[in-house]
Amino acid sequence: MSAVEERLRIGEVARRLGVTTRTIRYYEEIGLLGSPGGEREAGRHRTYGDAEVERLRDALRLKSLLGLSLEELGELLEAEDARAARRDEWQHADPDPARRRVILDEARVYVERQLELVRRRREEIDSLESELIERRERIDACLDELA
Amino acid sequence: MSAVEERLRIGEVARRLGVTTRTIRYYEEIGLLGSPGGEREAGRHRTYGDAEVERLRDALRLKSLLGLSLEELGELLEAEDARAARRDEWQHADPDPARRRVILDEARVYVERQLELVRRRREEIDSLESELIERRERIDACLDELA
DNA sequence: TTGCTCCTCACGTCACGTGAGGTGGC
DNA sequence: TTGCTCCTCACGTCACGTGAGGTGGC
């Protein structure tokens, strides 16, 4: 299909995602990422493919925007991986409609759960933004009065 | 004007704000809050008035929603305090229009700075939400096709 | 007086930061 | 071969968590 996938080393991945290499190694250390590029002999360089980089990008975004602990993040990622596993199963075989329906329903529940978290956060942000805008308008009204 | 202000103890403040007492003590320890209720003899209970509770609520909200370190939060709060000081000056005296204009301009800059941070975050959240909604729609489309 | 909450150490933990000292691939 | 990045300890730090042991106010 595509050319041989270019694999990145940890420094380049860190640079692209805006974190340090230590962060990535720590996540691997606590089992959040699996081991990059399959098994690796001790001392050898870690390498990352596009899918691994994207997964890490998603993870960092969820953590930052939702303010999750790494344990909570881990739970979300497990669900995400289960979903990915289902999708593989989906593509490779099993055209049984009933089975397909189950897979889709599970994926939907997962997405819906994330949406719920994101939506709650957005509402908090929205209300903070409204308050600040209101404050600014009061200041502007005072300024108008002075003029 | 109003009745004697009711002052709260640290446990009640923590309960209302959804944090632990340790968090509040720690913020005081690193000088983020000033000392509650003015000076306090060692060993005596801390007490908090409405203004102090509200200030802490604002601080926790900013930190949580913007993902700030306590050092960054401290900088925002200093600006906020400068603003409060100006407002006192405003109310108590100094009806000089030029001076008033300066005070208002400073307040506006401060609010604008916070708005900028909040807006950036909201945009990130919005784009995450859009992606999730799109994912859900794709799942729904598949489900429709199955039916 | 009895609980309950408060107080101050002080050590533990989570999520990394920051070198030290050494090895590996373009 | 020379840099540059990578590797693995391992201790430090930030933002609290979690008791231990004791005191204070309704």
The three-class DSSP label of residue A36 is: coil
Residue for token pair 């096709």: B145
Distance A7 CA to D24 C1' (A): 64
User: What are B66-70's contacts with CB under 8 Å, separation 24+?
Assistant: B66/B117, B66/B118, B66/B121, B67/A64, B67/A67, B67/B121, B70/B27, B70/B30, B70/B32
Chain A residues within 8 A of B133 when measuring between CB atoms: 115
Closest CA to B72 of B81, B63, B64: B63
Nearest alpha carbon to residue B10 among B39, B43, B37, B48:
B48
* Confidence grade of residue A36 (pLDDT, cut at 50, 70, 90): confident
Segment B61-120, tens digit of pLDDT: 999 999 999 999 999 998 888 877 877 776 776 678 888 888 889 889 999 999 999 999
Q: What is the pLDDT of residue A122?
A: 98
Tell me, what's the pLDDT at A100?
85
Q: Could you say which nucleotides of strand D lie within 7 A of any protein CB atom? A: 5-8, 10, 14-18, 23-25
Residues 6 or more apart whose Cβ sits within 8 Å of residue B108:
A136, A139, A140, A143
Query: pTM for the complete prediction?
Result: 0.90
Mean pLDDT for chain B overall: 90
Nucleotide nearest to A25 (CA to C1'): C16
DSSP assignment letter at B34: -
Q: Measured between CA atoms, how close is B65 to chain A, in angstroms? A: 7
Are the C-beta atoms of residues A21 and A10 closer than 8 Å to each other? yes
Rounded to whole angstroms, the Cα distance separating B127 from A10 reads 27
Tell me how far apart the alpha carbons of residues B142 and B144 are, in angstroms, rounded to a whole number: 5
- Chain B residues in contact with A129 by the CB 8 A cut-off are 115, 118-119, 122
How many residue contacts between A and B have a Cβ separation below 8 Å?
A: 86
Please state, for a pLDDT cut of 90, what percent of chain B lies above it: 67
pLDDT tops 80 at residue B134: yes
Over pLDDT 70: what percentage of chain A? Answer: 94
Two tokens, residue A96 = 């049984």
**CA–CA min distance A45, chain B (Å):** 32
Looking at residue A93, its pLDDT comes to 65
Give the C-alpha separation, A116 to B142, whole Å.
22
pLDDT of residue B3: 60
Please give the DSSP secondary-structure letter assigned to residue B68. Answer: -
- Separation between Cα atoms, residue B14 and residue A27, nearest integer Å: 32
Q: Rounded to an integer, what distance in angstroms lies between the CA atom of residue B97 and that of residue B103?
A: 10
Residues with Cβ < 8 Å from A94, sequence gap 6 or more?
A100
Please write the tens of the pLDDT for every residue from B38-47.
778 877 999 9
Inter-residue contact B96 to B117 (CB < 8 Å)? no
Q: With contact defined as beta carbons under 8 Å apart, do A123 and B116 qualify?
A: no
Q: Is the CB of A63 under 7 A from strand C?
A: yes
Inter-chain contact A135–B104, Cβ cutoff 8 Å? no
- Tell me how many degrees the CA angle A98-A102-A104 measures, rounded to the nearest 5: 115
